[in-house]
Structure 1
Amino acid sequence: MQEVKKGRHSAYSLHCHIVFVTKYRKKVLGALHLTRLKDIFSEICGSFDSELVEFNGEADHVHLLVEFTPKTPSISKLINSLKAVSSRRLRQEFCDIAGAYRKPVLWSRSYFAGSCGGAPLDVIKEYIENQDQP
């Protein structure tokens, strides 16, 4: 059963699956990098009234499951901050990441963000279609 959180004037359960890919799909991330990324992403999510629920990745991409509130400014601002801050901090802290690219980059410009949780879309569509209109 999915937990529904409550605010002062709202009840919500908002989750987003986010995927970032390294620039040129280079395999530059190791276990130490992923551990540090989890800490960085958790900190950034906290500053956006959201929470990093789950995190994992491989050498060339990472997956995040983020729970956010209706007060979260916007998903795109959260994602821009996650990518910019994590890229800058990893390049400052790890010489191998900084040396992997000629320019100061880590992530590809693109990303994936998908809403998740709750009932499947077909169930929601059917529920809306079956509402009694006056």
Structure 2
Amino acid sequence: MTRQARTCPGAAYDLGYHVVWCPKYRRLVLDGRVKDRLEELIRARGGEHGREIVALEVMSDHVRLFVKPYPKNSPSYVASRFKGFTSHHVRAGFAHLRSQLPTLWSRSSFVATVGAVSVDTVRRSIELQDDRVPTGGGARA
């Protein structure tokens, strides 16, 4: 995937979040029609709020999502929006899930940022900043 910055008023950004979440008790309930409906809901929710769904995989016991969100949305906010929306709609459409589980999703999720620059590169860039700034006559921020 090539790197492509997106813009919004006052910012240019290239953010990506890898989000993973599981059903309560890691039950094997995300298959068949439930899986299809869940994928449909996640893609629809992403499109509604300008979040680009880059990759999505629904396994029987977890969901893996690579999403490029708006920069004002924190990783935990993005995860909670997908989990809350899908839980409400999936449980409404599949009565057997309401009887099997007190809630569809576990309380936790995993979120990692995804980027084209490694931690070491960023650290080195910051540490070497003073070496690259010209000395003399100009204001420094």
Normalised by the shorter chain, which TM-score bucket? 0.7 to 0.9
Q: Based on CA coordinates, which of the two structures has the bigger radius of gyration?
A: 2
The residue that corresponds to 1:108 in the other structure is 106
Report if the CA contact (8 A) 1:83-1:107 is conserved.
yes
- Per-residue deviation, residues 6-53 of structure 1 (Å, max 9, x unmatched): 334322100000001110111111043222112211222233332222
Aligned mates of 2:9, 2:76 — CA distance in 1:
25
Give the partner amino acid of 1:91.
R
The residue that corresponds to 1:21 in the other structure is 22
The residue that corresponds to 1:121 in the other structure is 119
Name the TM-score, length of structure 2 as normaliser. 0.81
When structure 1 is superposed on structure 2, of 36-45 and 10-19 the one drifting more is: 36-45
SS at match of 1:17: strand
Aligned mates of 1:52, 1:35 — CA distance in 2:
16
The residue that corresponds to 1:12 in the other structure is 13
Q: Kindly report which structure 2 residues correspond to 1:32-111, keeping only aligned pairs within 5 A, or say none.
A: 32-72=33-73, 74-101=74-101, 103=102, 105-111=103-109
Moved over 4 A (4+): none
SS at match of 1:107: coil
Name the TM-score, length of structure 1 as normaliser. 0.85
Give me the CA root mean square deviation: 1.8
Give the partner amino acid of 1:79.
A
Q: Size of the alignment, in residue pairs?
A: 131
Report if the CA contact (8 A) 1:51-1:66 is conserved.
yes
Q: CA deviation at 1:70?
A: 2.1
Aligned mates of 1:10, 1:122 — CA distance in 2:
24
Q: CA deviation at 1:77?
A: 2.8
SS at match of 1:109: coil
- Per-residue deviation, residues 77-106 of structure 1 (Å, max 9, x unmatched): 3322211121111111123322322x2x11
- Identity within the alignment, %: 31
When structure 1 is superposed on structure 2, of 92-101 and 14-23 the one drifting more is: 92-101
